[in-house]
Amino acid sequence: MNSRQRKELQLLIEHGSFSLSEFADLFSLSKRQIRYDIDELNLALEPTIGSEAVSIYRNVAYLHADITSQSLVKSEFFDERRDFSKNPLSVKERILLTAFYIAWSSKCYVTMQEIADNFSVSYDTVVRDMAEVRKYYAAHNIQVISEAGKGLRLAANESTRREILSSLVKEYKNLSRFHMAFDPHDYEELFPLENLQEVAAIVSNAEAYCAILLDDASFEAIIIHILLSVKRFKDVGTTNAPDTNVHASQSQLDEVRRNIASYIVEQVNNYFGIKLPDDELLYIGLHVGLYGWRVETDTPHVNTAIELACTALISAVDACMQAGFKQDKKLYTSLVQHIATAANRKTAHLKLSNPLREELLHEYGDLYQIIRQKSNSCGLDQLINPTEDELSYILVHFGAALARIHRAYQHKPRVVVVCATGIGTAELLASRLQQQFSLDIVSILAAHRLVSLPLDEIDLIISTLPSSITKVTTPWLKVGPLLDKEDCTKVAAKLSQLGFSTKQDVYVEADLSTSAKELQKILLEYPQPQDEPKLIAALHSYLEAKDKGGEDPMLSDLLCKDHIVLDVVCNDWQSSVEAAGQPLLKTGEITSSYIDEVIKNITEYGPYVVITKGIALAHASSAIGVNKTGMALVRLKTPVTYGNTANDPVSYVFMLASTGPETHMTALQCLSELLQDEASIACMAHATEPSEITEQIKRFEKTITVTIDC
């Protein structure tokens, strides 16, 4: 059981049930991966519980009523604190905690055998880990000293040690991919839960008492710093030499930060029954300003020098680029607040690392050079440390402004996606188009419904059908439903011909949950202040749609072994469609009228169902003959022709019946990926039993890297 699965189990214990969507959003994963986590939890719990511990119904996970933290501790499934022999650390977890263990011991040496015993691993494993631990410290310009007969120790003063301990805790927390608000359970393996909760309450009360608002990073950093301080005080004591860097910063603490630090130290001392040294007030006061904060009823707390430097920088960069930066008020506000926190970092002698630095420099290289050149002449270099990391963070704000300005003037091509039915292949095509291009897809519909649209407002029709089926004059492009590389080239060329940019949407591939992507799309669509009523309405519509729920089964749920028939003999395409419909007819998903409707549509509109070489996806509208969403597959003993010269003959016919797009999109997207996987195609070709294909589908579902909201 890994850290994420342990966290999932804790949440289920706390709440009794938890939706797969909430899990997926919390961990930035697909619901499919959450299902696999729950499968592994059940396997791990089975020897202890003796039955299925977690069940899933309508996309909600439910924990067996008899399972509690106490029952699991009593059964020795896990301890109140992590037992590494029962729940071993991952390699990355072990390296970070080993580094933490060494940094913590400021007086005595740590032996590698101690580390091995502490984390329940072999001595040889610790030897291998130490190579990575040394690399980690070297990257932070800290030396690990090794002395024969004594062990390992860190060559660092208390200030440096505090900084590295805080960094290690944050990195350890981020291994579980928790990027939301502070959650005490994220740090439960390092500090007692009740202490985490109490210190969080103290910091929250300090915000109210001093009338300031901390951002999430500051709030979390202060809590972890306080707990480290208390632990250091209890374990190490107060005999360390005063830190000159901190004392040099004492005069730089303004009244607001001094007040909040004093309040926090007083409350912490009362709660833990200790008296922290005076240095701690300075450490906490500096932490308030290292990330982001503001006075609750005021603008960001900055001085005139910062405001003038930011104004000068924006004007100087805009003079070089003529991009309209001076008109972007959000750029000014965000830059002023960022420079204020950067100035605090300089005062505290702390360095900032930007993990996106290389990507930013590659994407905005010219803009970065201008910012670097102008930062000195604008007086910015006197306020902050003008390192590449700090300047690349400033680049983030200018890059965001550039994107806002670009969106304000950009007109996305308005596109209609057309197929014979308005579902199935058209929805798959639309999904593929939105993955590859920045488009405004106005509608997805059947060919005969084109007459109902005001086509004078449409820039392009993209269809799986030829333009000859209708007499519209709007530009028309025929592509395959899977939108392969050749089709993408055709779309890009057509858009360019029509005068549109063909640059792909940079947000598509981001490591975001499905819900985050959907919300991001809504926010990007209404960026202007005057769009606020539309934005609110769109968000209401989105939330209402989410509340309605609806099943969205995986491909393996629909394409079970009873719906797969191998080596069927058919004389023509009509009989192959009938054969593909028989498994669904037998189990009641469709009536015979649905099969008739599919044959009628292919006869009228042509072989639109042949989606790639040798494969057809037979489908029609849900209006006739569909009782329940389902899918079937027949492998033909002898291929048949459908009239599609590029992809005939057809050897595999899938039949899709759907009650609506929300009930099949996950399965359809997975199918599109499956049909491009060589191992899966080989399995379909050589399987002797339907169960071989269903097992391959399940294996393939675990390997898909794109996030599908399943």
Among residues 154, 174, 194, which one ends one of the domains? 174
pLDDT on residue 551: 52
**Residue 657 three-state SS:** strand
**Residue 519 three-state SS:** helix
pLDDT on residue 239: 42
Residues 699 and 562 both lie in one domain: yes
Q: Look at the alpha carbons of 286, 288, 291, 292 in this order and tell me if their dihedral is positive or negative.
A: negative
Phi, psi at residue 110, to the nearest 5°? -120, 130
Q: Which residue has the higher pLDDT, 485 or 272?
A: 272
- Provide the pLDDT confidence category of residue 180 given band limits of 50, 70 and 90: very low
Average pLDDT over residues 176-202: 71
Interval 344-354: pLDDT, tens: 777 666 666 66
Average pLDDT over residues 608-623: 82
- Provide the pLDDT confidence category of residue 581 given band limits of 50, 70 and 90: very high
d(CA 252, CA 263): 18
pTM: 0.36
The answer, yes or no, to whether residue 707 has pLDDT greater than 70, is no
Scan for tokens 């910091």, then name that residue.
203
404 occurs within a structural domain: yes
- Provide the pLDDT confidence category of residue 653 given band limits of 50, 70 and 90: very high
Residues 359 and 434 both lie in one domain: no
pLDDT on residue 471: 76
Say which range, 110-119, 204-213, 246-255, has the weakest mean pLDDT.
Answer: 246-255
The answer, yes or no, to whether residue 596 has pLDDT greater than 80, is yes
pLDDT on residue 365: 87
The answer, yes or no, to whether residue 264 has pLDDT greater than 50, is yes
pLDDT on residue 678: 87
What's the CATH code of the domain at 362? 1.10.1790.10
Say which range, 14-18, 24-28, 67-71, 445-449, has the weakest mean pLDDT.
Answer: 67-71
- Provide the pLDDT confidence category of residue 399 given band limits of 50, 70 and 90: confident
pLDDT on residue 300: 40
- DSSP E strand stretches across 193-271: 212-214
Residues 691 and 607 both lie in one domain: yes
- Provide the pLDDT confidence category of residue 242 given band limits of 50, 70 and 90: very low
Q: Which helix (H) or strand (E) holds 679?
A: helix 678-686
Residues 260 and 345 both lie in one domain: no
Q: Which helix (H) or strand (E) holds 143?
A: strand 143-147
Average pLDDT over residues 56-70: 77
Average pLDDT, the chain: 76
Is the CB of residue 702 less than 8 Å from the CB of residue 660?
no
273 occurs within a structural domain: yes
Average pLDDT over residues 85-105: 75
Residues 256 and 340 both lie in one domain: no
Q: Which helix (H) or strand (E) holds 424?
A: none
Q: Compute the radius of gyration of the chain from its Cα atoms.
A: 30
Residues 610 and 699 both lie in one domain: yes
Average pLDDT over residues 308-335: 80
Average pLDDT over residues 704-708: 40
> What's the domain count of the chain?
7
Among residues 374, 409, 444, which one ends one of the domains? 409
Is the CB of residue 526 less than 8 Å from the CB of residue 485?
no
83 occurs within a structural domain: no
d(CA 414, CA 362): 31
- Domain extent, residue 320, equals 304-409
pLDDT on residue 503: 53
584 occurs within a structural domain: yes
What's the CATH code of the domain at 46? 1.10.10.10
Residues 326 and 238 both lie in one domain: no
Residues 134 and 235 both lie in one domain: no
Virtual torsion, Cα 90, 92, 93, 99, nearest 10 deg: 140
Residues 693 and 578 both lie in one domain: yes
The answer, yes or no, to whether residue 111 has pLDDT greater than 90, is no
Among residues 385, 409, 433, which one ends one of the domains? 409
97 occurs within a structural domain: yes
194 occurs within a structural domain: yes
Tokens coding 502: 């063909």
Which residue pairs from 18-23 have beta carbons closer than 8 angstroms and sit at least 24 positions apart in sequence?
A: 18/60, 18/61, 19/59, 19/60, 19/61, 20/56, 20/59, 20/60, 20/61, 21/59, 21/515, 21/546, 21/709, 23/61
Phi, psi at residue 418, to the nearest 5°? -130, 135
pLDDT on residue 2: 65
The answer, yes or no, to whether residue 582 has pLDDT greater than 80, is yes
Tokens coding 146: 């090794």
Interval 135-174: pLDDT, tens: 988 888 888 888 888 888 888 876 677 677 767 766 766 6
Query: Counting Cβ atoms within 10 Å, is residue 294 exposed (0-12), middle (13-18) or buried (19+)?
Result: middle
Edge-to-edge strand order for the sheet containing 460-463?
440-446, 414-419, 460-463, 476-478
Contacts of 626 (CB under 8 A, 6+ apart): 589, 590, 594, 657, 658, 659
The answer, yes or no, to whether residue 431 has pLDDT greater than 70, is yes
The answer, yes or no, to whether residue 684 has pLDDT greater than 90, is yes
Say which range, 196-210, 283-297, 333-347, 387-401, has the weakest mean pLDDT.
Answer: 283-297
DSSP character string of 65-134: TT--HHHHHHTTSS-SS--TTTSPPPHHHHHHHHHHHHHH-SSS-B-HHHHHHHHT--HHHHHHHHHHHH
Tokens coding 660: 């609506």
| CA-based nearest residue to 602, from 648, 653, 643, 637 | 643
Interval 506-531: pLDDT, tens: 333 334 455 565 676 677 677 667 77
d(CA 274, CA 268): 8
Residues 650 and 671 both lie in one domain: yes
Q: Which residue has the higher pLDDT, 683 or 656?
A: 683
Looking at the chain, the whole-number percentage of residues with pLDDT higher than 70 is 73
Which residue pairs from 197-206 have beta carbons closer than 8 angstroms and sit at least 24 positions apart in sequence?
A: 198/271, 199/223, 199/226, 199/227, 199/268, 199/271, 202/226, 202/264, 202/267, 202/268, 202/271, 203/264, 205/263, 205/267, 206/260, 206/263, 206/264, 206/267
Interval 369-382: pLDDT, tens: 999 888 877 778 87
The answer, yes or no, to whether residue 272 has pLDDT greater than 60, is yes
- Provide the pLDDT confidence category of residue 652 given band limits of 50, 70 and 90: very high
Is the CB of residue 655 less than 8 Å from the CB of residue 632?
yes
pLDDT on residue 563: 94
The answer, yes or no, to whether residue 573 has pLDDT greater than 90, is yes
